[in-house]
Structure 1
Amino acid sequence: MSLLGGIRPPIAVLSVLLLALAGITALTLGRVGHDRVPEAVRTSQQHFAEDGAIALRASVDEGVTDLTRTAQLFSAGDPVPADAVLDKIGNVYQKWTGTAVVEIQSGKLLAARGENVPLTAIDRSRLADENGLAPRMVRLQNGETRLLSFALLNWKGRPQQLLVASSNLKFPGISLGEFRSIAVIDQTGTVLSSDGIPEPEQVLTDLQRDEVKESNRQLKAFAKAAAGKAKQHPVKSKEPGSGGFLGVSGSLSGDRYMGERSVAGYATLASPQPGEPTVATGLGLTVVAMVKVAEDPAVTASPVFGLAAAAALLLIGGLTVALLLGTVQRPLIRLFLESRRLTRGDLARPVTVPRRGEAARIGAALERLRHQLLGESPRPAAPARRRFGARALLAVAGILLLVWAGPLLLLLNRAGDTVVVPQQMVNDQRERTDTVSDRVRRALNEGHADLMSVASLIGDRTKPSQMAEVLEATMNEHLRYESLYVLDAHGDVLARAGHGPHNDQGEGPSAEPIRVLDDKGKKPVIVGTAELPGREGAAVVGEFRIDFLNSLLKRPGLGDVRVVDAHRRVIGGNSGYLAFHRLPGERLDELVEGTNQKVGMSPRPSGVLFRDGRDIQIAAAAPFVGGGAAESLGWTVVSWQPAFGLAIPEYSLQNRTVLAGLLGITAAAACLGWLHIIVVRPLRDLARQAEELADGDRKTVLFPRHHDEVGAVARSLELIRQQVQSQRKRDGGARTPAGAGRN
């Protein structure tokens, strides 16, 4: 018999699958949704830490790039005093806490701005090494950490100078809300900087002081745990196929304190592209975000449903397997044995005929063939018993399994309109949307600051080749621009880099620092303008890539994200959208309008939970606030996502219940379909051929389709056909039996 064919393997596989499914059902459905802190909240903290890591990495890399490019552009021109260098840098950028220019050979401080730069930590003898100019972290006496960035100023005929910039490791534009703290840690788990937790001396009551101390203790514990997990390989730290954040990230649960449990997310600083490390990723930093979440005391673990569903499956599965064994497998095996007996010449005993179906038809045909082999007159065929064949038995078996799987798939554990969405999820949606909004605003502000820096460094350069050189250098350093060009007061292009300008109407430079040039095309054209000092209205113009803007919006766990202008028209998004069209739904329009028009206060981010029957949606809106050239745009970032996609207990239980039903239907369809194709269809054809053979058809050769029980019965019938035909020839061509050749 074939190992993969026949009647036994499908039934055996079905039995194993049903047993496995019963075990899975008992283990999973009994445990779903009983954590007092939902998985969705923990995952949200992981995404929050990833947002912080991305913002910090971008800030550090942007600072190093700006410092290096500025020094290179200064070095390409005429020598200028150290004070002039720092003044121009300070006028354009406000990202550094302190700057200084040092003469490398003598170590003399030539100029300084802002807080004192820890110059004693600089080893001037190693600046010529390959990594001599790499940024480094310095611990100050007050316990704070500073990141030092370096760049060289080279002019012919002058001693080489070192441009130093000091910055803290604070997070730019991260919205923490009221109860969250965030920290930067090194590879040993030491907290380098933190936000969100006040100093114990800043609180008034003993209770508050105890809470602050507990928060600090929890944060340090999370920092140590996150530092250990951050040493994993990014690929091994995630589930296969999860994708998303390129670095190591995850969530941690802490101790319970006064009815609240601390939950944290952690994320290492990862490069934006796989396999392309940056300056920031080489620092070995990790971000830890912690929040206190109120536990639900009403939630208790109860495996009753899972055990009941598993017990029902065992009962129904047992009946199904017993039905298949008793009505399909055993009759077929009995036919196989009876047919083998007849081929060996044992004709004394009558054939044991099964009760119903194709097996009964074949058994009756074998009994008639036994009489013919004995030389008796052919007997007429008995009334066919075809009303309840093997196909009907398979259908009954499928219905039995569907009785278990159907309610799981369609009826049980349905999450209704009373689903409890944790308030923390709404808060996280609001704060993360605010963080994305600030990130987009800062990116546009950085772009405009770069244009101002380019305009300042072009200075008195009048040759197009000289201006184009500066523009090309800026294009190579930053990927945010689609084109850079210099316009005179009449709108003529004096020099350009990148794609051709969209400003083909001969208009002069705009007085607006950032604007949308084309609001009727298929793609928004976002333009930044910085006037050239002393050039009678000439300006440097940069057109931002819309893909650069959209890439800032692509964050997991936020759903659909859109940037809308002051008229609530879509400018950009993280998924498919139509530019300058309205938001999908009046509720989102009203959310944006209400966020920007709060009475008696400045615009602030808003989060809301929309309920429409079972359709539950979390949405948030955050306007541009915080200053800079981009704030005048009046843009707002909007995000929304359906609640059923979150790991909330009710939805998790519903999803796993549906999954159990799908697995049950799949197992039934696969095994019963296998049984129908391999056994039932050949058995039906064999029953017809056996009846035709018993009726006198001696010419049709019976070929087995498979090497299994049905094939063995077919081979036995073929041998019987040959024996009957040989007996007929020996008898000298006896009269044709009644009904010969009948189909």
Structure 2
Amino acid sequence: MAASQPKRRHKVRRRADMSLLGGIRPPIAILASLLLLVAGVTAFSLGRVGKDPVPEAVLTSQQHFAEDGAIALRASLDESVTDLDRAAALFNAGEPVSPDAVLDKIGSVYQKWRGTAIIEIESGRLLAARGENLPLTVIDRGRLAEEGGLAPRMIRLENGETRLLSFGLLSWEGRPQQLLIASSSLKFPGISLGKFRAIAVVDSQGKVLSSDGILAPEQLLSDDLRKASERSKKQLDAFAEIAAEKAGEHPLKTKEPGSGGFLGVSGSLSGEVVNGERSVAGYAALAAPRPGESTVATGLGLTVVAMVGVAEDPTLTTDPVFGLIAAGVLLVIGGLAVALLLGAVQRPLLRLFLESRRLTRGDVRRPVTVPRFGEAARIGHALERLRLQLLDGPHDDADPAPARASRRFGTRAMLAVCAVLLLLWSAPMVLLLNRADDTAVIPQQLVNDQRERTDTLTDRVRRALNEGHADLVSVASLIGDRTAPEDMATVLERTAYEHLRYRSLYVLDADGRVLARAGEEPRHPAGEGPGTEAIALLNDEGKEPVIAGYAEVPGREGAAVVGEFRIDFLNSLLKRPGLGEVRIVDAERRVLGGNTGYRAFEGLPSRQIDALVEGTNQRVGLSPRPSSVLYRGDDGVQLAAAAPFVGGGAAKQLGWTVVSWRSASGLEIPEYTFQNRTVLAGLLGLTAAAACLGWLHIVVVRPLRELARQAEALADGDRRTVLYPRHHDEVGAVVRSLELIRQTLQEQRRRDGAAATPSPVGRN
């Protein structure tokens, strides 16, 4: 047996070399590296906050404003083309009428076109005209029969203004074909600009086709105002050229992946400083409402540019020294935590590893160096007792070993101390420091933008309802008193197919009977005739509001065409990035629609917002106007705006209001950016501490506690329990050494027992 020990010891050396892989060193080294990285991120990121001349939130707001303008312009142009095509198709489906009657009917239903005309295609003779004079000579009548010959096109008038010409074909049997022409301006429908904003439509070459918000210099009396107007126009032209160039890029290359929002190319620009104000602009190319689609308007290559002057704030709102101080404190605390781990956990464990390997090699003359506390001290005392047993041989089952180490303060407690140290830095960073709700300075431009964008959104919802009612009037005029029920259904189905805003379309007689319908089941109250209002809310409870438009059918004794609007259609109009939560409320301030989750006919979420809507609609002695406010309360800082339905059309009498609100904590202004980066630094510190200390607890501390128990049991005389290492690291190496010591003690015991047994020959 003695001859076999050198081989076993040689095997111990090979396994001891393998035990250095992994173990306690990587988590401590990675913790030190991560803390150093977090300190660098803290110093660098917090030191750069507040250095931009204009807050990023203001630039982003101008981008959203331009996107709103692009959406409104695209919808207006596409709606004009669609309405003209549908009007021509409806006239073609009926009896022939005179050109003057066609234009009069179109003019009474739609008030969107600057000029309309009808010419005879074969001769080019002008048959009728309304509104502004149209340049009919630019129309190539010979190409009308070709593919795309009726596609809308842009033209420039003699006064320099640009128009979009739309065409419709009027064709009746036995009559020469006629061309219906309508001109639309490139002005923005219902865009609320405020006092100091300019907005323009730009072509693909960067040339301004139309603009609003900048008065011509010759219209101003003051020399200073004329110079300011000239500078603004020059700056707008410069923005237009840059925006047109950027609009030619692919949308996926101009935005971050997964950012969502506007489907087209959009962005923001920063210009020169004039009289303490910096010119900033947002731009947005006309884009289709759904990905992968194209419309007439998107094919024109137009871009919207919105420009405004923003006053720069020279005062410093954030302290860059804070980042350096926080990084320095983290380095001190992190260094102390790492030093404790190195001195109280890693070094004692490595010493135990070397001492246990020494014992397995047979070097038992020198006492074991015992660590001071914790599991390492318990294991050290056990190794010393085992050394004595190897040196003197077993006496009984165990030896009177030195006193055991205390179990009160172990490696887990040391990890807890390190965790508390790191928590002392991370917790205040996350929860206490740089709270921005009390100190944040919200730029007035953001409050104004919230109001103007909400007003623009209100106008778009109102115009959408007015357009829907105009379609119903057009259908009712076509049906008249001559159409059979099956023909009515054909007209209704065609209208429902062309316009997805309707849930259902039907003709209702004076007694409440449905004569023809298309779409889903009508929800009009049974037995009741058509309502007297152009657009009405039919219910005040239930899961979904029922909004219906009525258009009387001429010659049918009180019958009307009824169109029920889809709530999803109205909700889709409210989806605008940067506005927060948006709601449509009725005159009693009950919610009818929204861009996020809501319950129909519920109240507004807070008394402040409810009071804002009430005050907006009940201004003493004044007409309702949009308003905005900045709230500071227990829930933080909040921007809110409300805009009532104003203007003409069938929807005005509804008395509805669009209200929006958003938390200021999501704005990219210096105070909130500073707060967010402070919280991020604290979270990074917590993550690094939790990951590395948790790693240490799983890989080192738990196996080390089990090893202490096994070592004490082995020193107490347990020779039967075989010891298996969990990991090939320092703890596992000590376990393997203990197993070899156990085997050696067993061999000694058998050897001593055999020597003490009397020989049978000697007894004889």
Q: Shorter-normalised TM-score: what interval?
A: over 0.9
Deviations 1:542-568 (A, max 9, x none): 111111111111212112212122222
Q: Which stretch shows the higher mean deviation, 613-622 or 443-452?
A: 613-622
* Residue among 438, 445, 460 paired with 2:466: 445
* Residue among 508, 528, 534 paired with 1:513: 534
Cα distance, 1:220 vs structure 2:
1.4
Tell me, in whole angstroms, the C-alpha distance in 1 between the residues paired with 2:21 and 2:353.
18
Tell me, in whole angstroms, the C-alpha distance in 2 between the residues paired with 1:274 and 1:145.
28
Question: In the alignment, what sits opposite 1:113?
Answer: 130
Cα distance, 1:7 vs structure 2:
0.8
Matches within 5 A, 1:266-345: 266-299=283-316, 302-345=319-362
Larger radius of gyration: 2
Question: In the alignment, what sits opposite 1:540?
Answer: 561
Tell me, in whole angstroms, the C-alpha distance in 2 between the residues paired with 1:372 and 1:733.
18
Cα distance, 1:734 vs structure 2:
8.7
Deviations 1:56-98 (A, max 9, x none): 1111111111111111111122222222222211111111111
Question: In the alignment, what sits opposite 1:181?
Answer: 198
Tell me, in whole angstroms, the C-alpha distance in 2 between the residues paired with 1:104 and 1:11.
86
Question: In the alignment, what sits opposite 1:566?
Answer: 587
Cα distance, 1:55 vs structure 2:
0.7
In structure 2, the gaps of 5 or more residues are 1-17, 757-764
Question: In the alignment, what sits opposite 1:740?
Answer: none
Q: Please state if 1:643 is matched with 2:660.
A: no
Cα distance, 1:164 vs structure 2:
1.8
* Residue among 605, 612, 622 paired with 1:601: 622
Contact 1:35–1:299 (Cα < 8 Å) also in 2: no
Deviations 1:447-470 (A, max 9, x none): 000001111111243311101111
Tell me, in whole angstroms, the C-alpha distance in 2 between the residues paired with 1:373 and 1:3.
26
Tell me, in whole angstroms, the C-alpha distance in 2 between the residues paired with 1:4 and 1:656.
37
Cα distance, 1:722 vs structure 2:
1.2
Deviations 1:131-169 (A, max 9, x none): 332222222333221111222222233333322211111
Question: In the alignment, what sits opposite 2:8?
Answer: none
Matches within 5 A, 1:193-592: 193-299=210-316, 302-377=319-394, 378-592=399-613
Tell me, in whole angstroms, the C-alpha distance in 2 between the residues paired with 1:226 and 1:724.
86
Q: Structure 2: which amino acid aligns with 1:287?
A: V
Tell me, in whole angstroms, the C-alpha distance in 1 between the residues paired with 2:570 and 2:546.
11
Cα distance, 1:4 vs structure 2:
8.3
Contact 1:34–1:301 (Cα < 8 Å) also in 2: no
Question: In the alignment, what sits opposite 1:151?
Answer: 168
Question: In the alignment, what sits opposite 2:36?
Answer: 19
Deviations 1:314-334 (A, max 9, x none): 121122112211221122122
Q: Which stretch shows the higher mean deviation, 153-162 or 421-430?
A: 153-162
TM-score normalised to the size of structure 1? 0.95
Q: Structure 2: which amino acid aligns with 1:609?
A: L
Tell me, in whole angstroms, the C-alpha distance in 2 between the residues paired with 1:284 and 1:155.
35
Q: Structure 2: which amino acid aligns with 1:485?
A: Y
State, as a whole percentage, how many aligned pairs show the same letter. Answer: 75
* Residue among 101, 105, 125 paired with 2:142: 125
Deviations 1:380-404 (A, max 9, x none): 2422233321111111111111121
In structure 1, the gaps of 5 or more residues are 736-743
Tell me, in whole angstroms, the C-alpha distance in 1 between the residues paired with 2:674 and 2:176.
71
Question: In the alignment, what sits opposite 1:9?
Answer: 26
SS of the equivalent of 2:254 reads: coil
CA RMSD across the alignment: 1.9
Change (3 A) 1:632 1:2: farther
Tell me, in whole angstroms, the C-alpha distance in 1 between the residues paired with 2:426 and 2:210.
54
SS of the equivalent of 2:593 reads: strand
Contact 1:36–1:299 (Cα < 8 Å) also in 2: no
Tell me, in whole angstroms, the C-alpha distance in 1 between the residues paired with 2:525 and 2:573.
29
* Residue among 592, 615, 626 paired with 2:636: 615
Contact 1:3–1:9 (Cα < 8 Å) also in 2: no
Cα distance, 1:418 vs structure 2:
4.1
* Residue among 89, 92, 102 paired with 1:75: 92
Question: In the alignment, what sits opposite 2:77?
Answer: 60
Contact 1:516–1:525 (Cα < 8 Å) also in 2: yes
Question: In the alignment, what sits opposite 2:12?
Answer: none
Question: In the alignment, what sits opposite 2:10?
Answer: none
Tell me, in whole angstroms, the C-alpha distance in 2 between the residues paired with 1:455 and 1:699.
99
Q: Please state if 1:720 is matched with 2:737.
A: no
Cα distance, 1:302 vs structure 2:
4.7
Tell me, in whole angstroms, the C-alpha distance in 2 between the residues paired with 1:190 and 1:19.
53
Tell me, in whole angstroms, the C-alpha distance in 2 between the residues paired with 1:342 and 1:536.
112
Deviations 1:321-348 (A, max 9, x none): 1221122112212222222222233333
Change (3 A) 1:339 1:127: farther
Contact 2:481–2:553 (Cα < 8 Å) also in 1: no
Q: Structure 2: which amino acid aligns with 1:227?
A: A
Change (3 A) 1:61 1:3: farther
Contact 1:199–1:212 (Cα < 8 Å) also in 2: yes
Q: Structure 2: which amino acid aligns with 1:145?
A: T
Cα distance, 1:657 vs structure 2:
1.0
Question: In the alignment, what sits opposite 1:738?
Answer: none
Cα distance, 1:239 vs structure 2:
2.0
* Residue among 720, 728, 731 paired with 1:699: 720
Tell me, in whole angstroms, the C-alpha distance in 1 between the residues paired with 2:170 and 2:37.
70
Deviations 1:421-456 (A, max 9, x none): 211111111111111111111000000000011111
Q: Please state if 1:136 is matched with 2:153.
A: yes
State the number of aligned residues. 735
Q: Structure 2: which amino acid aligns with 1:444?
A: L
Q: Structure 2: which amino acid aligns with 1:583?
A: L
Change (3 A) 1:614 1:418: farther
Change (3 A) 1:300 1:553: closer
Tell me, in whole angstroms, the C-alpha distance in 2 between the residues paired with 1:697 and 1:676.
27
Cα distance, 1:693 vs structure 2:
0.9
Tell me, in whole angstroms, the C-alpha distance in 1 between the residues paired with 2:77 and 2:324.
54
Tell me, in whole angstroms, the C-alpha distance in 1 between the residues paired with 2:386 and 2:150.
98
Matches within 5 A, 1:675-690: 675-690=696-711
Cα distance, 1:597 vs structure 2:
2.3
SS of the equivalent of 1:24 reads: helix
Change (3 A) 1:170 1:732: same
Q: Please state if 1:96 is matched with 2:117.
A: no
Cα distance, 1:613 vs structure 2:
5.2
Contact 2:318–2:674 (Cα < 8 Å) also in 1: no
Tell me, in whole angstroms, the C-alpha distance in 2 between the residues paired with 1:604 and 1:139.
36
Question: In the alignment, what sits opposite 1:660?
Answer: 681
Change (3 A) 1:660 1:3: farther
Q: Structure 1: which amino acid aligns with 2:257?
A: P
SS of the equivalent of 2:640 reads: strand
Q: Structure 1: which amino acid aligns with 2:510?
A: A
Q: Structure 2: which amino acid aligns with 1:615?
A: G
Q: Which stretch shows the higher mean deviation, 195-204 or 377-386?
A: 377-386
Contact 2:381–2:405 (Cα < 8 Å) also in 1: no
Cα distance, 1:2 vs structure 2:
8.0
Contact 2:317–2:670 (Cα < 8 Å) also in 1: no
Tell me, in whole angstroms, the C-alpha distance in 2 between the residues paired with 1:356 and 1:734.
41
